[in-house]
Structures are given as structure tokens and as C-alpha cells.
Amino acid sequence: MAGILVIGEVQDGHIAPPTREALAMGRRLAEAAGATVSVALISHALGASAQEAIAAGADQVYTVEDALLAQPQIDLYLAAYQAVCAAGTPDIVLLSRTDIGRELAPRLACRLGVSLLQDCLQLEIDADSGRLIATRPVYGGNVLARVRSAGTPQVASIRPKVCDPLEPDMSRQGDVTPVAVALDAAMAKVAIVRQEVNEGHGVKLEDANIVVAGGRGLGGPEPFAELEELAGLLGAGIGASRAAVDAGWVPANWQIGLTGRTVTPDLYLTVGISGASQHMAGCSNAKVIVAINKDREANIFRESRYGVVGDWETILPGLIQGIRDLK
Amino acid sequence: MAALNIIVTAKQVIDHEIPASALSIDETSTRVTAPSSFKPIVNGFDDYALEAALRLKEAGGANITVLSVGSQFDVNIMRKTLAMGADRLILCQDPAFTNLADSFTTAQIIAAAIRKIGEFDLILCGRQASDWDNAQVPLVLAELLDLPCITLAQKIEVTDGKVTVEQVVTDGYRVAEAALPALITVTNELGEPRYPALRNIMAANRKRPTTWKADDLDLDPAMLTPQLEVIEVAFPSKAQACEMIESEDGAEAGRRLAQVLHEAGLI
């Protein structure tokens, strides 16, 4: 029986949301392939994560608990996950393309001697060959490619938020197997000196139900103050296109796009964003996209549910007033 | 401090600014092409990697070698790297280097070329190529060459045989350090790459890049068989009707938009 191994992430003693999504994807593939789903959880403090993982779809949990895993040291994470792969001998390995996954996935695949199927939007088992087929965006999202790896195991990284997590099922049963790994601080080739996190700029983008975003059409940094006013009224997160970031108008971590953050709000409201595919790659799973842009031919209108063509200088104050009137 | 030996990896790609409507798909070869009127470019993120190298050169001296692997080069395009300030350009060109969609294979080829170059202090790579968006080759390269690896650099400094990097993370950045030699990937948060001055472009046009073929590299032929197979490439289908809110008056349109969104239960 084929085995699917999810490379899981643990945060503060709980499984991370992308791990729930990867487990859901694993279960979907398992149904098609007649396989079991296991998950690798590594942490300095596993907490409730193993039981959560079983409730989220895992049949088997492999654990590595070690104080050395407290820091995001990819060299140590790799050693731990590699040990689990050796113990579990999976046919398919799934990761999420998170900050950690971005570094981990290509390097783990290399250590397993295979090429990685990167940033997958969709995974399926081919009925004839039994092999995994991945659909992934290329050329900035302008083209979709279906790809297959010839190696074993088949390793794929999944874009966060493309697969809904399963409802936790506390009645699910599963085994927990600790895996012994000899970790050594000397394995870490990179020293992490400090972290500078931009806390408290309102709502976290990835969690926001509404996101407003500004782009090149705003023309400078000052108009973003009006966008922040709009965001405040709506309780929304605020982001920007890469053009606005590269121009130095907004902080870099506002960037939404293929390189940048991925958001999946119920409402994504854009002002002065043309809708280039690299930007849409970061927001295309939003439920409703709205565009305000002075160019009727802008690509954003092909991606939007509602649009207003015109100058944001007049439209935005009207929108803000209209929202105030609703309250 | 002695001048650093820096290798910058670069890839020639279809210009990412080309509108999707101008791209073509050859279903048999599963290749994406652009009309010949559109010149290829050096991958955007590789410009940022070279810019990072040039800043290190200005800070303390460096010999910068740009290395590229491909099946067919437009040498004038690749010479831009010399015009920007690189000291040497090496093009590994061979029909055998066609299937660059497989990052694992591509990294093996680049690793062989780097071993041929010899000593280096730093390898700088763009975070991903704008054609296949794999963001894999640099990381696999670090594994193959057994190098410390720091990704998504927005700032790079070298002092006393050690590299210090500001690494972009979702909510800010992290400061990380490693001993040289090391491999770093570079992202656009580094800041705009410089435009080459005209006199530098003209000087670069007189330089001849070094060219290597597959036979010049110590490569196991088995390495050239791609592990990744592209089954199909296609344009995504888009079915979305946009409801336009029209008005003579922009402010009125804005107010109507608020009402429409409220009625739709979105705000």
C-alpha cells in the first residue's frame, strides 16, 4: 500500500493551518490511490499537535522532539525530516509552500535524490500510471503546466490556501511514532542573529476577510493614507502590488503576489492595480475581486466581479463616504 | 580585505513584461514561446543578484563572474551583465541543455560549471526565474556544493570571511550570518538594479564571453536526463463577467460601489 507523508509544521504546540490543508490534500490523494496518510511533526515542544494531526486526517504521526528545533534552522529541520522519510519510506511527500517550505522543499527533494513539483495548485493521481500529476502556474501565472516527476518518492509543495482543511474529526484514530534523530547544533551552517518583525499594522493579511490593495496607479506614497482610512472603516488588511513596493511607497511586507504574500479574503478591493498575472497569483483565490482603475482595458477587469473605471482621486472619497453612510 | 570572488548565476528568459496575449504554446513540444520581435532578457531577479554583487564590489572589491546555462543564447542580451559591471561572463551553451524545466538537472549542470570555475567566496542567485517560477535551482545548488544557504536577501554585507544577510520573511526580516563560502538568493526588496551607462554598454559589446559546451564540463550523461516531465502547458481559462459601475461622476460611482458591495453582503 502506497504511503503519503505530509511534512508538517508545528507552531506553539499546534499544527499550522497549511499543515491542515496539506493533510486534506493527502487524504484526497489517499482515497484515489488506496494509500495511508502520515505526517512528520518536528518541534522543541509538540504540545497537542500529534492528536490534532490525527483529527485533521493523519493515520500515522511521526514525531521528532528536540530543543535544538526551537529556532528556524533549516539544516536541522532537514536532518529531522530526512530521518522521518527514512523511517516512513513514503511514495509521495507533500509540503506547504510557507516561509519554511520554500527553503525546505527543494533541499529535501534534493537529499531524496528527486526533483520537486513546486507551488502546486492541484494534485491528482493518474489513473493509468498511478503517478502524481501536478498543475502549477508558470510564466508568472500566465500559463498552467501539468508536470510529473520520474523519481521516487514524488515530492510536491502545495500553495497555501488552495485546498480547504477538513473539519477536525476527534473520533479518528492514528498511531504516534517517535523517531530518534541525532541532532547536533554544529549541523546549522547559518546563525540566526535576530528577527525584525513588523507587528501591529492592523489585520494580518493572510487572516483578513477583506483586503484593500493599492498599486502603481496611486502614483505615490501619500494616497495610501486614504487607502488606510478605507481599510480602517472596513476592518480590512492592507497590501500593495510589487510596483508600489519597488517604488518605495509602502513597506516591502505589504507586497501581494507571486513573490510576496498570498491572500484569500472574501473581498479583495484594488485601487490603481493593473492586474498583471504575477500580482493575481497572490490574490486570485479571493472570493470577490473589485477593481478601481482608470484604464478600461486593464487586465484586472478580467479578473474582477465589480469594477469602476475612472480616477481613484474622485472614486475613493465617494466609496469611503458611501461606507460611512452605511454605518 | 582581499577582493571577493563572486559567481552570479543568470538565466536568459522570455521578457516577463510581454502580455500573455502575445505568448504562444506549442502543444507538441510543450514549450511557451514569444514572437521573435520580442527580445529575451536576463531574468529580472538575476539583475538583483548582480546588483548585490556590484554593491559588494564597491564596498570592498570583488571579481564578479556571471554564469549562465542554456541551449541558445542571444549574446548581446547576456552582455548586459558585463555592461552593469561584471568582470567575466561564462555561457554554457549546448543543445543538451534544453530541458531547464527540471531544476534538479539544471542545478547539476551549474554545479559542474562552478567546479570548473574553481574557487569562489560567494554564489549569488536570483530567487526564481520568471519563466518557470521554480525557485529551486539555487537551493539544490547549495545542497550539491554543500554550502551554507541564505534565501531572500534584501541586504548583503561581508566582513572577515563572514556574510551577513537581511532575509525577508512574511512579517519583516531576519538577520542571518554564515561563514564563506556561501550561497545567497536575492529578492527585489534589495532595491533597483543599476542601468548600465552607455559607455559601459559599448565596452561590453567589445568583450567576448567564455563559452563552454557539455563536453567541457565534468558531467555524468545520466544527469542530463530530466526527471521532471512536462505533460501539458495551457493558458488558464478565464470566465468572469465584471459588473461595471458607471457614472458621470467619480464620487457617485464610488458611493454606488459601496451600496452594491453592501447589498451583496460583502461589507
Over residues A294-308, the pLDDT tens digits come to 999 899 999 999 999
CB-closest option in A99, A118, A304 to B170:
A99
Q: Does residue B91 or residue A201 have the better pLDDT?
A: B91
Residue B171 is predicted with a pLDDT of 81
Cell 518605495 locates to A248
Q: pLDDT over 90 for what percent of chain A?
A: 88
A198 touches chain B (CB under 8 A): yes
Contact between residue A38 and residue A2 where contact means Cβ atoms under 8 Å apart? no
Give B254's contacts in chain A (Cβ within 8 Å).
292, 308, 314-322
Rounded-to-10 torsion of CA A133, A139, A144, A146: -20
Cα of A273 to nearest chain B Cα, Å: 15
Q: Confidence class of residue B240 from pLDDT cuts 50, 70 and 90? A: confident
Q: Confidence class of residue B237 from pLDDT cuts 50, 70 and 90? A: confident
pTM comes to 0.92
The one-letter amino acid code at B34 reads A
Strand, coil or helix: B140: helix
Interface contact flag, A259 B235, Cβ < 8 Å: no
Cell 511607497 locates to A249
- Beta strands B182-186; B149-159: pairing state: parallel
**ipTM > 0.90?**
yes
Interface contact flag, A143 B261, Cβ < 8 Å: no
DSSP track, A287-325? SEEEEEES-TT-THHHH-SEEEES-HHHHHHHHHHHHHH
Q: What is the mean pLDDT of residues B250-260?
A: 96
Compute the distance between CA of residue A61 and CA of residue A44 in angstroms, rounded to an integer. Answer: 16
Q: What is the mean pLDDT of residues B245-266?
A: 95
Work out the burial of residue B229: count CB atoms within 10 Å of its CB; fewer than 13 is exposed, 13-18 middle, 19 or more buried. Answer: middle
Interface contact flag, A314 B249, Cβ < 8 Å: yes
Q: Which residues of chain A have pLDDT under 70?
A: 1, 199-201
B-facing residues of A in 108-127 (CB < 8 A) are: 109-111, 114-119
Residue A61 is predicted with a pLDDT of 98
Interface contact flag, B177 A191, Cβ < 8 Å: yes
Residue A1 is predicted with a pLDDT of 54
Weakest mean pLDDT among A210-224, B98-112, B120-134: B98-112
- Closest-CA residue of A relative to B252 is A318
Residue of A95, A319, A324, A327 to mutate for B, most B C-beta atoms under 10 A: A319
Q: What is the mean pLDDT of residues B123-133?
A: 95
- pLDDT above 70 for B1: no
Q: Confidence class of residue B217 from pLDDT cuts 50, 70 and 90? A: very high
pLDDT tens digits, residue range B33-55?
999 999 999 999 999 999 999 99
